[in-house]
Chain A
Amino acid sequence: MRPDKRFFSATLLAFLISLPAALTAQEEDWQIDPSYSGLQFEAFAAKAEQAFGIQIFYRESELRQIPAASVSMPMPLLEYLPLWLAPAGMKVSFDARGYLFVVKGNPIQTTLPQSIYPQIVATTTSAAITGEDNYLTTSDEHIPKIITVGNKRDGLGKRSLVLTGIVVDAETGDPIPRATINVIELGRGVLTEENGRFRITLPKGTLTAVVRDYNHEEVRFTLEMLSSGEAQLRMIERQVRLDDVVISSQRDNPVQNTQMGFERINTRAVKEVPLVLGERDILKVATLLPGVQSVGEGSGGYNVRGAPADQNLFYLQHVPVYNTSHLFGFFSAFNSEALSGFSLYKSNIPAEFGGRLAAIFDIEAREGDKETVQVEGGISPITGRLLVGTPIQKGKSSALIGLRSTYSNWILGLIPNNNFSQSNVYFGDATVNLTFDLNDKNILKLFGYYSRDAIKFGPSTNFNNQNLGSSLSWRHFFNDQHDMEVSLVHSRLSLGVENNAVISEAYRQTSALFHSEAKVAVTLRPSTGHRIRVGANSILYQNDRGDFLPLNESSLVKPVNLNQEQGLESGLFLEDEYRISERITVQGGLRYNLYTFLGPQEVFSYEDGVAKREDSIVDTLSFGKNQPIVTYQGLDYRFSAKYALGINWSIKGSFTRLHQYIFLLSNTIALAPTDKWKLTDYNIKPMRGDQYSVGLYGNLGQGQYQLSIETYRKQVQRLVEYRDGADLLVNEVPEWDVLQGDLDAYGVELMLRKTRGRLNGWLNYTYSRAIVQVDGGQQDLQINFGLSYPANYDRPHAANLALSYRFNRRVSLSSNVVYASGKPITYPTSIFYLNNVRLVSFTNRNEYRVPDYFRMDISVNIEGNLKQKKLAHGSWAFSIYNLTGRDNVYNVYYSAASGRLQGYKVSIFAIPIFSATYNFKLGNYES
C-alpha cells in the first residue's frame, strides 16, 4: 500500500512554508518591539506565543546557548527570528495554523520533515508513542503524524498484524472512550473501549487511520505497520469547531446515543472542582449533577432521583463498595488520584447491572504506565497521599498503588471540648491495580481495594469500619468486533462499634457483609450501528448480621448472635442496540434475575393481613445449610429509543423495570455509621422499581454547548420503611419492624453544559418530588397515619453551577454554586408534661422543611513551572468551601437546657473553610 499522497499534501506540505518565502498579512501583524530585548529564548517564545496566539516548538537543549534577544526597533517576528537564530545554525519554519518550528540543521524541506515530526518507532514490546520527548507540549499539542509499529524482523512472514493501543487526550493523558478509528484503505474501523483502548487487525504496510471523537479534533495518522505492536494515539481537545466536520455517531454524545440519565466524569473534570478540606473528591462532583443529592453534609450516601441511598450500587473496578465514605461521610472512600473516572447511570441502567433501583456508579481505577515510573502525591491539612506506578515488564504490564491516610488528630487537640480532645480519628485507603497485557488477544487485571475508618468519638464510643475488596478480570478479544470479559470479585464490608457509656451495658457489635461475584459479558458488534452485549453474573451474599457482645467483664450485656444469612442473586442479560435508520436507534435489554434466600435459617410465618409480630406467628420453619428458603424471580427490562431531529437535536424515551434484593436497615434521618445491610428474605419481599423517562437533547453553538431536558417518573413498590420507633441496633427479627410501602418520585432536569474553551462547566436545575406512602390498612401497618409524606430526601428545587476558567496552562480558577430546597423535617408541634418533665410531641411526618441550602465554593489551582527538564513538578490548590459562610441547617432540635424550650439549628460547615493542598509528581507538567 502506498502512502496516501493527498493526505500528505493536505496536512503537511501545503502548510509548511520555508522562511522567508513569503509573509502574508497575518504574519506581518506579528510585530515585536524592543520590549523583547534581553529575553532568553524560552521567555521570548512565551511572550510571543501569548502576544500573537501562536505556538512555538523547539528543543530546549538546542536553544539554551543562544544569546538573549536584542531588538532595537519594531519588526516582524518572522524577520527577526532568522536574524537572531541563524548564526547558531537554527532554522525557522511555520505553518498556516500558527505553529512555528525552530530546529537545528537542515531547514524544513518539501519532503517529510523528519526532524520535526520524528518518526516514532514502536516495537512489539514498547507501547507509547512519546515523540514529544524534546518538545514542551502545549495545549494545542504537536502530534506525531507518522507512527511506525513494530519492526521488520518480527513482521517477517506475517500478513495479518494486530495493532493494540489507546487513544488519549494529548494534554491530560486521559483515555478517550468510544473514539472511532477508521482505516481508510480498508473501509473499516474500531471503537475504543471505556478505557480508551482498542485493538484492530491490519495488513502489513502503510495505512491511514482517521481518529474521531466528539470532543476532540479529528486527527489522521499514517500507520507504518511492520509487525504487530502497540500505539498511543493522541488527540487534541477541540477548541474551535470546524464547520465541515461531520458528527459521526458516537456513544458519548448525548444527542447521538440512546443512553438517558447518564453522566461520565473523568478525573480531569474533578481537577477543576473546588475541594473540601483540601481533598479532591470525585464522587462529590456527582452531587453537582442534576438529580443527585448528598444525603447531608457530613453524611455518607447519595440520593439519586428521589431514591434512598441504598438504591445505588458503587462498583470500583468491578468491586462493589458498600460503604462509600470516610469519617461518616465527610470524605468519600476513594482516593480520586487513583481513579480515572466514573460513569453514573440513573435512568436506563445497562442490563449488565442489576440489583439496584436508582443508580449505578461505575468507577474505573487508573492504570499504571507501562513504560515509565510515576510518582505522585499530595499533602493537605487532613491527609497525605501517595501514588506510585511502575511497569512490571516494560510495555506489557504495570502496577499502580495508591495510598491515602489521615494524620490530622492534631486538629482535635485544638478544640476546647472534652468530647473532642478525647477523640481520635484515623482513616485511610489503598488501591492496587495490576494490568498485564498477556498478548494481543488477552488482558488480565488484578485489582485490590482497602479502606478503613477507626474513630474514637468522645470517651465512650469507638467505630471501626472496613471495606476490603478485590477483582480479577480477564478480557479476551475474539477479533476486532467481538470480545469477552470474565471477572471474579470478592468484597467484604465489616462494621464494628464499641460503646461503654454505661458500664453494665457496655457492648461491642460487629457485622460483616461478604459479596462474591462472578460475571461474564460478551460484546458483539455484528455490523456498524449494531451492538449486542450478553452475559451472566451471579452474586453470593453472605451477610453476618453480627454479634452483640459484652465489651468487658463488668458489662452485663447478654451476648446475642444475630443470624448469618445467605442469598444468591443470579442474572442473565442480553442487551441489543441497533440503528434502524439514520434517525432512529433503539436499544432493548432484558435481565432475568433469580434470587434465592438460603439456609441455614429459622424463619417465621405469620397470619395474613396483620402486623408481623411475635403474637401473629403461626409457624416456625427450619432450613438446613444452603437449603433454599424462598426464591424470587424477576424480569428486569428496559427499552429506549432515540429519534434524531437533524444533526444537533434528538429526543429519547426509555422505560426501565428493575428489582432489588438487598437494602440498608436504617431509620435515622441521615445514614449512620452503624447501619447494616439486610437481605430480602422469607418475609421481606424484593423492591421493584419502574422508571419512565423522556428527554430532549441538543448541541448548540456548533457543539460548544450541550443542552438536555429530561423528565422522569419513578415508582417503587415494596419500598422498605420502618415502624415508628423501631430499634434497629440489635434487631433479631427485622420483619417485626419493617413495613413496605410505595415511593412515587418524579422530576424534570435541565442541564446546560459548555464543553470546550477556557471557560467550561455547567448549569442545571432540577424540579423533583419524592413521596412515600405506607398504608397497610390498619394502624400498626401504617406510617404517618397511612398518609403520604415527603421522603427525607425530597428537595423540590435544586440548582447547581459549576464553572472553571483557565487563565493559562498554570493557573485555573473554578467555582461551584449549589442551591437546594431545605430537607423535610418533622418539627415538634406541641408540649406536654409527664412527671414535671417538659416533653414535645410530633404529628405529621416531614411536614416542614429546614431553610434552603446554599453554598458557593471557589478554588484556584496553580501549577509549578512548565520547564521540560525537571525532576518533579508541583502544584498548589487553594480553595474556600462555603465562601459566603452561610450556616446551612443540617438539623433542628429543641432543648430546654437554657431554662426555656428553645429551638436550635445544627450546621456543619458554617464558616468559609480555607484549605491549601500541595501536589507533586515526578517529571514535568505533562508527565
Chain B
Amino acid sequence: MKASHIYCGLMMLWLLPSCTEPFSPKIDDAQHLVVVDGRLTNGPGPYVVKLALSANLTITNYDPISFAEVYIREEGGDRHLLEEVVAGEYHSDSASFRGEAGKSYRLEITLSNGKEYQSPYEFLRKGTKIDTVSVKPEIYYFDELQREIPGYQFYVSSEAADQGNDYFIWIMEGTYKYTADYPIYFVWRGFLADFPEPYAYYTCWRTYPVEEFVTANTTNLSEARVLDKPLFFLRGDDKKLSFRYSLLTRQLAVSKDAYEFWDGVRQQSASSTSLYNVQPYLLQGNMNNIEDSKEPVLGYFLVAGEEEQRIFVNKPTSFPVTYAQCGLDYDGYRWIFGEPSSSWPIYITIGDEGRAISGAGCLDCQQIGGKLSPPDWWIE
C-alpha cells in the first residue's frame, strides 16, 4: 500500500481534500471557439487584444488568430486601430490613444474569414486606489503534490471605492532577481574559447505575469473596500524568492457583468478542493458574433479603471527557500563538439570533476527569460 493511500484513508475522515490522484478521463475534442482577451484601461497603453482559438485539454498549444481587423471604438467618437504586433496579438498606438474614465468603448473585430464580432459599449469607470499590498509567510498544503510548501501569501487592501464601484479584479506581475547556478568558464561556438567574465551571465532580473487573478465584490459590504484580500501564494520552492521579489498589483474597477464572467471562469478553473462545487457551465463573455448570436465566444473585452501598486520583498528568513540546483553533466561535455551550430553557444563550467555542461538557465540566467540588468524601477 502506498503511503499516500494511508494518508488518504486518514483524511477521508474529515473530508474535503480527501484523497487526490492524477486522473485523465477521455474527453472528446471540443469545437474550437474564438477567444478574445482584450483590456482597455485609463492607464498608459498600448492596450492589447489577443485573439486565439480555444485548445483541447490535452494539447496546450496556443492557436493565435492572425490577419484580423481590430478596432476599439469610443462611443460617439473615433475608432482606433490595433495593429498585429505578434501573431494574434493586437496593440493600440499608445501615442495616439489613451482610455479615459467616464467614456464608453467597444471592441470591433473582423476576422479574415469575414466573421464580425463586437462587444457592447463598456463604460470606463474611475479606478479605486490600492491602500496596501502586504505579505505574510504561510504554509499551504497542495493536494496534487500531497505535501505542504511554505511561501509568501500576498494580500491587498483597497481604499474605499466610489458609490457603484463594487466590482474588483486584480491582476499581477512579478519581477525577481535570481542567479544561474554556476559561473561560465568556457564557451563553444565551433571552437572552444575562454569566457572572460565568468559571472557575466550569472545574475538576472525576470518579469513575468502571475498566472492568477483575483476577483471581489463589495455589494455585501457596508463599505466598498477590501481588507486583506488574499492575492496569491508565492511558493518558496523555486528561485523567485532566492534574493528579492517585487509584485506589481493592478487593481481594476469593472462592471458587474465583467465581474461575473471573470469570477465565474476563475471559480470554474480553480483547483477545487471543495466537495461542494457549483455545477459548471459554458460561460460566455461580452463578445458576440454580429450575424450569429448563437455562436459561443470565449473571453472578454474588459474595460476598467486601473490603479496599481508595487511592493518589494526580500528572501524570507522565517522559512527556507528550497529549489533543486542544476546537476553538472561531465559526460555531456565530451559531446558538445559534435553539436550543430544551431545550439551554439554552449557554455561550460568547471565542477569538482572537471569541465561540465548543464541545463538551460543553469549557466546563463538569461535562458529562463531574465535580463542582465534590473528594470529602471528596481530598488535593491
0 or 1 for each of A421-461: is its CB under 8 Å from B? (1 = yes): 00101000000000000000000000000000000011000
Is A839 a contact partner of B269 (Cβ separation < 8 A)?
A: yes
Scoring B residues 196 to 224 as 1 if CB is less than 8 Å from chain A, else 0, what string do you get? 00000000000001011100101011110
Does the CB pair A502–B282 fall under 8 Å? no
Residue in contact with A833 in the complex, picked from B19, B24, B37, B283, CB distance below 8 Å: B37
Chain A: CB-nearest residue to B228 = A503
A412 within 8 A of B: yes
Can you name the residue of chain A whose Cβ is closest to the Cβ of B13?
A411
Asked if B171 and A827 make an inter-chain contact with CB atoms under 8 angstroms apart, the answer reads no
Give every chain B residue within 8 A of A904 (Cβ-Cβ).
Answer: 20-23, 143-144, 271
Q: Are A834 and B23 in contact (CB under 8 A)?
A: no
Residues A834 and B220 in contact, CB atoms below 8 Å apart: no
The answer to whether B278 and A668 have CB atoms under 8 Å apart is yes
**Contact status B143-A910, CB under 8 Å:** no
Give the contacting residue for A502; candidates B7, B229, B275, B277; CB below 8 A: B229
Q: Which of B55-63, B110-118, B350-358, B366-374 contacts A (4 or more CB under 8 A)?
A: B55-63
B55 touches A832 (CB 8 A): yes
Which stretch from A31-39, A396-404, A646-654, A884-892 is at the chain B interface? A884-892
| A420, B278: Cβ atoms closer than 8 Å | no
Does A894 reach chain B (CB closer than 8 Å)?
A: yes
Contact B54 A504 (CB under 8 A): no
User: From A914, which residue of chain B is reached at the shortest CB distance?
Assistant: B9
Question: With A and B bound together, what is the CA distance between A802 and B62 in angstroms?
Answer: 53
What's the least CB distance linking B227 to chain A, in Å?
Answer: 3
Known A-B contacts A725-B260, A835-B213; A415 and B11 likewise in contact (beta carbons under 8 Å): yes
| Given A830-B32, A896-B271, A902-B144; A908-B54 close (CB under 8 Å) | no
Kindly provide the distance from the CB of B368 to the nearest chain A CB, expressed in whole angstroms. Answer: 14
State in angstroms the CA–CA spacing of A417 and B19 once bound together: 13
Please determine whether A905 and B20 come into contact, CB atoms closer than 8 angstroms. yes
Question: Does the CB pair B18–A669 fall under 8 Å?
Answer: no
Q: How far is the CA of A315 from the CA of B211 in the complex (A)?
A: 51
* Chain A positions 813 through 838: 1 when the CB is less than 8 Å from some CB of chain B, otherwise 0: 00000000000001111111111111
Residue among A277, A416, A556 with most chain B CB within 10 A:
A556
Which residues of chain A have C-beta atoms less than 8 A from B95's C-beta? none
User: Once the chains bind, are A829 and B27 in contact (CB under 8 Å)?
Assistant: yes
Residues on A with beta carbons closer than 8 Å to the beta carbon of B30: 829-830, 841, 843
Q: How far is the CB of B13 from chain A (nearest CB, A)?
A: 5
Asked if B213 contacts A837 (CB within 8 A), the reply is: yes
Selected contact of B9 from candidates A418, A792, A831, A910, CB within 8 Å: A910
- Say yes or no: A898-B18 contact (C-beta < 8 A), given A725-B283, A832-B55: no
Instruction: Tell me, rounded to whole Å, the shortest Cβ–Cβ distance linking B282 to chain A.
Output: 5
List residues of chain A with CB within 8 A of the CB of B228.
502-504
For A890, what are the chain B residues with a Cβ–Cβ distance below 8 Å?
18, 275
Report whether A560 and B220 are in contact in the complex, using a CB–CB cutoff of 8 Å: yes
Q: Which of A883-927 contact B (CB under 8 A)?
A: 885, 887, 889-898, 900-911, 913
Chain B residues within 8 Å of A837, by CB = 211-213, 269
A838 in contact with B211 given A784-B281, A910-B9 (CB within 8 Å) = yes
Q: Which of A296, A419, A898 contacts B17 (CB 8 A)?
A: A419
B167 to chain A, nearest CB (A): 13
Contact across chains for B280 and A903 when beta carbons are under 8 A apart: no
Of the four ranges (under 10, 10 to 19, 20 to 34, 35 or more), the interface on chain B belongs to: 35 or more
Asked if residues A672 and B57 are in contact (CB atoms below 8 Å), the reply is no
What 1/0 flags go to A754-794 for Cβ under 8 Å of B? 00000000000000000000000000000110000000100
> Min CB distance, A29 to chain B, in Å?
52
For A896, what are the chain B residues with a Cβ–Cβ distance below 8 Å? 211, 271
The closest CB in chain A to the CB of B34 belongs to A832
Contact digits for B8-44, partner A, Cβ 8 Å, 1 yes 0 no: 1111111111111111110110111101010100000
Question: Is the Cβ of A894 less than 8 Å from the Cβ of B269?
Answer: yes
Give the complex CA separation of A829 and B229 in angstroms. 31
Q: Which residues of B contact A101 (CB under 8 A)?
A: none
Q: Is B6 an interface residue (CB 8 A)?
A: yes
Residue of B14, B19, B27 most packed against chain A (CB within 10 A): B14
Range class of the A interface residue count: 35 or more
CA distance A536 to B19 in the complex (A): 50
Which residues of chain B come closer than 8 Å to A548, judged between CB atoms? Answer: 220
Contact between chains at A834 and B37 (CB < 8 Å) = yes
**Residue A554 is within 8 A (CB to CB) of chain B in the complex:** yes
Which residues on the B side are within 8 Å of A420 (C-beta)? 11, 14
Contact B8 A907 (CB under 8 A): yes
Cross-chain contact A894 with B57 (CB below 8 angstroms): yes
B226, B276, B299: most-surrounded residue (chain A CB, <10 A): B276
Which positions 267-299 of chain B face chain A at CB distance < 8 Å? 268-269, 271-273, 275-283, 298-299
Verify if B148 is at the interface (C-beta below 8 Å from A).
yes
Q: How far is the CB of A16 from chain B (nearest CB, A)?
A: 59
Contacts of B12 in A (CB 8 A): 298, 907-910, 913
Contact A842 B23 (CB under 8 A): no
Do A913 and B9 contact each other (CB < 8 Å), given the known contacts A833-B35, A848-B25?
A: yes
Question: For the complex, is B139 an interface residue (Cβ under 8 Å from A)?
Answer: yes
* Cross-chain contact A556 with B52 (CB below 8 angstroms): no
B10 near A557 (CB under 8 angstroms)?
no
Tell which of B17, B228, B260, B280 has the most Cβ of chain A within 10 Å.
Answer: B280
Known: A556-B221, A842-B280, A842-B281. A832 touches B298 (CB 8 A): yes
For residue A717, which residues in chain B have a CB less than 8 angstroms away from its CB? none
A-chain residues with CB within 8 Å of residue B142 when the two chains form the complex: 897
**Chain A minimum-CB-distance residue to B250:** A835
Q: Which B residues are in CB contact (< 8 Å) with A327?
A: 14-15
B46 within 8 A of A: no
- Interfacial residues, chain B to chain A (CB-CB below 8 A): 1, 5-25, 27-28, 30-33, 35, 37, 39, 50, 52, 54-57, 60, 62, 139, 141-145, 148, 157, 171, 209, 211-213, 216, 218, 220-223, 225-230, 260, 262, 264-266, 268-269, 271-273, 275-283, 298-300
Which 6 residue pairs across A and B have the least CB separation, nearest first? A895-B271, A504-B227, A829-B30, A905-B23, A672-B276, A836-B209
What are 8 sample pairs from A and B whose C-beta atoms fall under 8 A apart? Answer: A408-B13, A556-B225, A725-B281, A841-B30, A885-B1, A891-B275, A896-B271, A904-B143
Instruction: Write the residues of chain A forming the contact surface with B, with a CB cutoff of 8 angstroms.
Output: 277, 296, 298-299, 327-328, 330, 408, 411-412, 414-420, 423, 425, 457-458, 501-505, 507, 548, 550, 554, 556-560, 667-674, 722, 724-725, 730, 783-784, 792, 826-843, 845, 848, 850, 885, 887, 889-898, 900-911, 913
* Given A832-B55, A911-B5: 12 more A-B contacts, CB < 8 Å: A330-B13, A415-B10, A418-B141, A504-B227, A504-B228, A669-B279, A724-B281, A830-B30, A839-B266, A839-B268, A841-B282, A908-B18
